[in-house]
A and B are shown apart, each in its own frame.
Chain A
């Protein structure tokens, strides 16, 4: 008994010593987020619940070395299976046989994954970040033509993006310029992503030049690939050359971003974004962003099944050629912000309206709710048949 008590005491002492050491070395923080999403479809409201725990670790091992990581634990409840064909107009899905209906399924499965995990090394002349890390490029608030890694959620564009495995070197040149090089490895050098970027600033403007080589696949969602078991698609080289800027003109915040995408096999395309923003004296914030993508179609009658599927699969940012995003935000009280977003598809004259409320309930507890109302005609990008919906989210930071 004495030995057992002694061992337990030693173990407890050791564990508290180790815990204290870890607490000294590693900063542990993150958030818990619970979310309810609802969508009305054919006079029925479907619900999807999710709970997410994001656990962040950060350790500044020295002035030169930082380790950071985060693990996400996510559970889903409610309607976890969604059939994409239910949302698409009949004229688009008409050619898809009924047997293929279950293939076009979105599945929300519980997941645990290491979202980011990287080491940042600071040398006198440059910084190197190695590991899974968030990569963000471009100045657009909603659309980023120069970003080949992420596509933002139109209704929640500031939500964090997933990490990407990469080695990034950033070399400051003076105080105003930075040259970056990125290598995101895949199975071989050829299929890996390479990026070079130069950022600078002058006359109240920041500007960036960027060049990226990335392997890209547009799938044909009407043909099954018997070999892979997935949809047919041929990987090809995508070369992106872009420029972006953000600054101030005549008292207005202005931004612009342009990218030319040279595709190895398919048609090359270009995208650009231009936007302005302003804060009025009465604290109302207004922004408008115009987005043009030559990959998109000029009218809804040209949308194909593949366009829709590539949109849902994040292979392309849009199926329409021209869109406008308008945001008005105002602090209703010190703790409550109200906003109204409207996305107008100029190509097919459809609109979605998204009123938003965010409230700081307590210190470190935020709640947010939005509703989305699709007002477009059948077959348009914001087709009212896509279903109106909403989302409520509570987030507790620790």
Chain B
């Protein structure tokens, strides 16, 4: 979640301005990871799926995150069909539990479930809850700088490490030089590194609690020709959140 909804500290932003030209891919991705890592966050977001036929399905949910995205809790507020459903993701979404209020059941999902689409959207659970994946699971190589979305960007290629079990073989990331915020990320197939699966575009940056934050994130599915828009309605960083918030007891609340 943090990779999408969190921002940059002003000090990091300023340090980036002076050091940018000398940085390697690993250094840039470390800075990206640093700015996407407030310890805790609370957000309310609206997620709209736009299908190939133009139909729309809109979800509104609350989400809480702790330990730089290691723990996440999502609770749906609407539509009525999913209201009250909640998802708890721990250990960077290696452990996922879903709560269904109508049956009062909590279901534990294995980590392969993180490949599944979240409520049929173009975001997978892994896209939203894999925390430090940029650093832990991928090796970064700096490519030639490029303009992207009218912003001067570093271009990075992230290649999955052998031991990683994540679903993307590689990612191409365009990072805004000014603030180290990733503005566009391309995701490639696990088995075919040339197959472009999805593109994430972040926009409408605002400074919130001293963190520049993308208020709108769009995930384009290149295979299905669909896209999902996620708009932040509320966001707060570094608020006090007890670990008890990320337990089955809270999931069923």
Give A residues with C-beta under 8 Å from B. 29, 31, 127, 133-136, 139, 158-161, 170, 172, 175, 178, 199, 201, 204, 206, 246-248, 251-254, 277-279, 281, 283, 285, 331, 333-335, 360, 363-364, 366, 397-398
| B152 on the A face (CB < 8 A) | no
Assess the B104–A335 pair: CB atoms within 8 A. Answer: no
Assess the B103–A134 pair: CB atoms within 8 A. Answer: yes
User: When A and B form their complex, which 10 residue pairs have the shortest distance between CB atoms, in order from nearest?
Assistant: A253-B110, A397-B80, A134-B104, A248-B110, A397-B81, A334-B51, A279-B112, A246-B108, A160-B103, A160-B102
Assess the A334–B226 pair: CB atoms within 8 A. Answer: yes
Q: How far is the CB of B52 from chain A (nearest CB, A)?
A: 7
Q: 1/0 per position for B79-92, CB-CB distance to A under 8 A?
A: 11101000000010
Given the contacts A175-B247, A334-B49, A251 and B111 also touching, CB distance less than 8 Å: yes
New contact pairs (9) apart from A278-B110, A363-B81, CB-CB < 8 Å: A136-B103, A160-B102, A251-B165, A252-B112, A277-B110, A277-B112, A363-B58, A363-B79, A398-B80
Assess the A281–B190 pair: CB atoms within 8 A. Answer: yes
Assess the B120–A279 pair: CB atoms within 8 A. Answer: no
7 A-B residue contacts at CB 8 Å?
A204-B91, A204-B95, A247-B108, A253-B110, A281-B167, A331-B120, A335-B51
Q: How far is the CB of B43 from chain A (nearest CB, A)?
A: 21
Contacts of B19 in A (CB 8 A): none
Assess the A333–B116 pair: CB atoms within 8 A. Answer: no
Assess the A172–B51 pair: CB atoms within 8 A. Answer: no
Contacts of B246 in A (CB 8 A): 175
Q: 1/0 per position for B128-154, CB-CB distance to A under 8 A?
A: 000000000000000000000000000
- In Å, the complex CA distance between A335 and B81 comes to 14
Contacts of B115 in A (CB 8 A): 279, 281, 283
- In Å, the complex CA distance between A363 and B2 comes to 28
Contacts of A281 in B (CB 8 A): 115, 167, 189-191
- Contact for B81 among A161, A206, A247, A366, CB less than 8 A: A366
- For residues 213 through 253 of chain B, which have their beta carbon under 8 Å from a beta carbon of chain A? 224, 226, 243-244, 246-249
Residue of B nearest to A398 (CB): B80
Contacts of A178 in B (CB 8 A): 248-249
Assess the B110–A254 pair: CB atoms within 8 A. Answer: yes
- Contact for A283 among B104, B105, B117, CB less than 8 A: B117
Contacts of A206 in B (CB 8 A): 108
- In Å, the complex CA distance between A254 and B105 comes to 18
- In Å, the complex CA distance between A360 and B80 comes to 13
Residue of B nearest to A170 (CB): B249
Residue of A nearest to B58 (CB): A363
Contacts of B83 in A (CB 8 A): 29
- In Å, the complex CA distance between A360 and B81 comes to 10
| B55 on the A face (CB < 8 A) | yes
Give B residues with C-beta under 8 Å from A. 49, 51-52, 55-58, 79-81, 83, 91, 94-95, 100, 102-105, 108-113, 115-117, 120, 165, 167, 189-191, 224, 226, 243-244, 246-249
Q: How far is the CB of B134 from chain A (nearest CB, A)?
A: 21
- Contact for B247 among A135, A161, A172, A248, CB less than 8 A: A172
Assess the B167–A158 pair: CB atoms within 8 A. Answer: no
Assess the B191–A204 pair: CB atoms within 8 A. Answer: no
Residue of B nearest to A206 (CB): B108
Contacts of A175 in B (CB 8 A): 243-244, 246-247
Most buried by A among B117, B120, B226: B120
Assess the B52–A251 pair: CB atoms within 8 A. Answer: no
Contacts of B94 in A (CB 8 A): 204
Contacts of A397 in B (CB 8 A): 79-81
- In Å, the complex CA distance between A28 and B49 comes to 26
Assess the A279–B113 pair: CB atoms within 8 A. Answer: yes
Given the contacts A283-B116, A364-B80, A335 and B108 also touching, CB distance less than 8 Å: no
- In Å, the complex CA distance between A201 and B108 comes to 11
Q: How far is the CB of B168 from chain A (nearest CB, A)?
A: 10
- In Å, the complex CA distance between A331 and B83 comes to 22
Assess the A253–B113 pair: CB atoms within 8 A. Answer: yes
- In Å, the complex CA distance between A363 and B57 comes to 6
Assess the B110–A247 pair: CB atoms within 8 A. Answer: yes
Given the contacts A254-B110, A281-B190, A127 and B249 also touching, CB distance less than 8 Å: yes
Contacts of B224 in A (CB 8 A): 334
- In Å, the complex CA distance between A367 and B120 comes to 16
Q: How far is the CB of B86 from chain A (nearest CB, A)?
A: 14
Residue of B nearest to A252 (CB): B110
Assess the B249–A172 pair: CB atoms within 8 A. Answer: yes
- In Å, the complex CA distance between A81 and B110 comes to 44
- In Å, the complex CA distance between A254 and B56 comes to 35
Residue of B nearest to A29 (CB): B80
Q: How far is the CB of B248 from chain A (nearest CB, A)?
A: 7
Contacts of A127 in B (CB 8 A): 249
Contacts of A161 in B (CB 8 A): 103
- In Å, the complex CA distance between A15 and B120 comes to 42
Q: How far is the CB of A156 from chain B (nearest CB, A)?
A: 12
Assess the B117–A331 pair: CB atoms within 8 A. Answer: yes
Given the contacts A281-B190, A397-B79, A133 and B110 also touching, CB distance less than 8 Å: no
Contacts of A360 in B (CB 8 A): 57, 120
